[in-house]
């Protein structure tokens, strides 16, 4: 069972000229020994998300944050490009002496709420700064996937780049408002830039999981383990029974998965007024010196910051 350690990053303590709300989709990258860098996105006064990081010392089941936030370390894309209204880091992969950051590019739409695509930025200074690989996304809607791609998680194994990502399958009008359905898919690449998609669905819909978000994949003792968030598509913003919660699945090959949500070992706070009493989502799970950590967002999709739990 996971032991919750509480709200780690309280956004109210960091509001400034560029940060107004949210600290969403946290991801931790080990820099050296106990020093980690936690990437996340925060919204400005115009509601546009920009990427930041904060360094932390992690040891003995505790995370101690630095006092200073760094960023935004990338600017929004040129007007009309896929990331001109939001940049949200999703994962960082070490590739020789460079870091590849896969991120969510965001655009508002007219007939539906938004369009999401997957972008790539590269760092040559151990994650202090990143340069956009291209003005266009490396993964976007297509003939096979006509709605959107988002929230990638990437691992490199034996020279093969493996990506688990979110693919939208449709928008439905619920209470006069468009709501998306999306699940987890899988693809591969030889270089981390050009991806071959074969339509492989890893985690699919069920009666409780009508929208499945932000996968995180670990390989431990010959077994792939995925943590993700899932919700229904109706009244999920206000009804805790329908809102995001953390799910869990296992696989022998990283392609064919079995949902095992009953083994996830963590749930929303029983105190509905608590920061994670209504929803939990967008987790990143990693291990450091024998302790497993989970960074995650709570109510209102990270509006109040992010917290963590340990095993």
Whole-number Å distance between alpha carbons of 288 and 293 = 8
In tens, the pLDDT along 166-177 reads 999 999 999 999
62 DSSP β-pair partners: 59
Average pLDDT over residues 52-77: 97
How many domains does the chain fold into?
Answer: 1
* 244: exposed, middle or buried (Cβ count in 10 Å: 0-12, 13-18, 19+): buried
Token representation of residue 156: 């490199």
In tens, the pLDDT along 132-149 reads 999 999 999 999 999 999
Range of the domain at 263: 3-16+73-310
DSSP 12: G
Q: Is the pLDDT of residue 195 over 90?
A: yes
Residue 42 within any structural domain of the chain: no
Nearest by Cα to 144 from 95, 102, 190, 195: 195
Q: Is the pLDDT of residue 52 over 90?
A: yes
- pLDDT score of 34: 98
How many other β-carbons are positioned within 10 Å of the β-carbon of residue 219? 13
Residue 43 within any structural domain of the chain: no
The CATH number that applies at residue 275 is 2.115.10.20
In tens, the pLDDT along 212-248 reads 999 999 999 999 999 999 999 999 999 999 999 999 9
In tens, the pLDDT along 99-130 reads 999 999 999 999 999 999 999 999 999 999 99
Q: What is the mean pLDDT of the chain?
A: 97
Residue 9 within any structural domain of the chain: yes
In sequence order, the 6+-apart residues with CB closer than 8 A to the CB of 216 are 153, 226, 227, 228, 283, 284, 285
Structural Rg of the chain based on CA atoms:
18
Phi, psi torsion values for 285, nearest 5 degrees: -110, 130
Whole-number Å distance between alpha carbons of 298 and 293 = 16
Residue 119 within any structural domain of the chain: yes
Evaluate whether 287 touches 293 at the Cβ level (below 8 Å).
Answer: yes
Residue 68 within any structural domain of the chain: no
Residue 272 pLDDT class (50, 70, 90 cuts): confident
Residue 62 within any structural domain of the chain: no
- pLDDT score of 271: 85
Residue 28 within any structural domain of the chain: no
Evaluate whether 4 touches 304 at the Cβ level (below 8 Å).
Answer: no
- pLDDT score of 292: 98
Residue 29 within any structural domain of the chain: no
């Amino acid at each position: 069972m996971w032991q919750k350690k509480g709200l780690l990053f309280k956004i109210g303590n960091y509001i400034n000229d560029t940060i107004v709300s949210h600290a969403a989709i946290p991801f931790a990258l080990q820099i050296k020994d106990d020093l980690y860098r936690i990437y996340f996105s925060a919204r400005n006064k115009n509601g546009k998300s920009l990427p930041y990081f904060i360094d932390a010392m992690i040891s003995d089941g505790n995370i101690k944050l630095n006092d200073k936030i760094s960023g935004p370390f990338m600017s929004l894309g040129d007007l009309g490009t896929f990331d001109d209204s939001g940049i949200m880091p999703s994962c960082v992969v070490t590739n020789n002496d460079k870091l590849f950051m896969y991120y969510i590019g965001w655009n508002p739409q007219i007939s539906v709420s938004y369009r999401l695509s997957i972008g790539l930025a590269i760092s040559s200074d151990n994650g202090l700064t990143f340069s956009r690989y291209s003005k266009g996304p490396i993964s976007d809607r297509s003939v096979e996937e006509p709605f959107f791609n988002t929230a990638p998680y990437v691992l490199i194994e034996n020279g093969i780049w493996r990506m688990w990502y979110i693919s939208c399958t449709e928008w439905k009008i619920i209470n006069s408002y468009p709501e998306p359905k999306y699940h987890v898919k899988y693809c591969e690449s030889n270089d981390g830039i050009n991806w071959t998609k074969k339509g492989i669905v890893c985690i699919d819909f069920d009666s409780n999981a009508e929208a499945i978000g932000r996968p995180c994949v670990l390989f431990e003792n010959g077994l792939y383990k995925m943590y993700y968030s899932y919700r229904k598509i109706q009244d999920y913003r206000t009804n805790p029974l329908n809102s995001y919660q953390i799910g869990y699945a296992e696989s022998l090959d990283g392609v064919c998965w079995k949902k095992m949500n009953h083994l996830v070992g963590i749930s929303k706070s029983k105190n509905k007024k608590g920061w994670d009493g209504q929803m939990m989502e967008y987790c990143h799970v990693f291990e450091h010196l024998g302790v497993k950590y989970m960074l995650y967002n709570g109510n209102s999709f990270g509006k109040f910051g992010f917290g963590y739990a340990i095993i």
